[in-house]
């Protein structure tokens, strides 16, 4: 109900919010916004996969080669794949 009373809502892009409000550097704000926006796509067919999200430049920390998931990341990917298959089988029934 409160949103109905807002008359002048000004668009404030995610990158600008990160830079202006949260004081990220411009490069950090750009990288993080790119990472988040890829995951927030409403159409699941166009949304970034977990595997590709983990390869995003914002997450690269130099601990392992580019495109090569760490042990923890691989475990997460395996869990997501397992849950996705399990969910797909449940929905078909």
pTM exceeding 0.75: no
The predicted-structure confidence for 37-48, as pLDDT tens digits, reads as follows 998 999 989 999
**Spans of the chain, pLDDT less than 50:** 62-65
Give the CB-side neighbour count of residue 45, counting CA atoms within 13 A: 0
Question: What is the pLDDT, as a whole number, of residue 64?
Answer: 45
Question: What is the pLDDT, as a whole number, of residue 70?
Answer: 62
The predicted-structure confidence for 65-76, as pLDDT tens digits, reads as follows 455 666 666 776
Question: What is the pLDDT, as a whole number, of residue 75?
Answer: 75
């Amino acid at each position: 109900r409160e949103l109905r009373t807002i008359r002048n809502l000004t668009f404030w892009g995610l990158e600008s919010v990160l830079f202006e409000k949260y004081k990220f550097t411009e490069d950090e704000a750009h990288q993080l916004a790119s990472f988040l926006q890829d995951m927030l796509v409403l159409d699941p067919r166009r949304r970034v996969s977990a595997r590709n999200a983990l390869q995003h430049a914002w997450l690269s920390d130099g601990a392992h080669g580019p495109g090569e998931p760490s042990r923890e990341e691989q475990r997460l990917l395996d869990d997501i794949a397992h849950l996705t298959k399990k969910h797909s089988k449940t929905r078909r029934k």
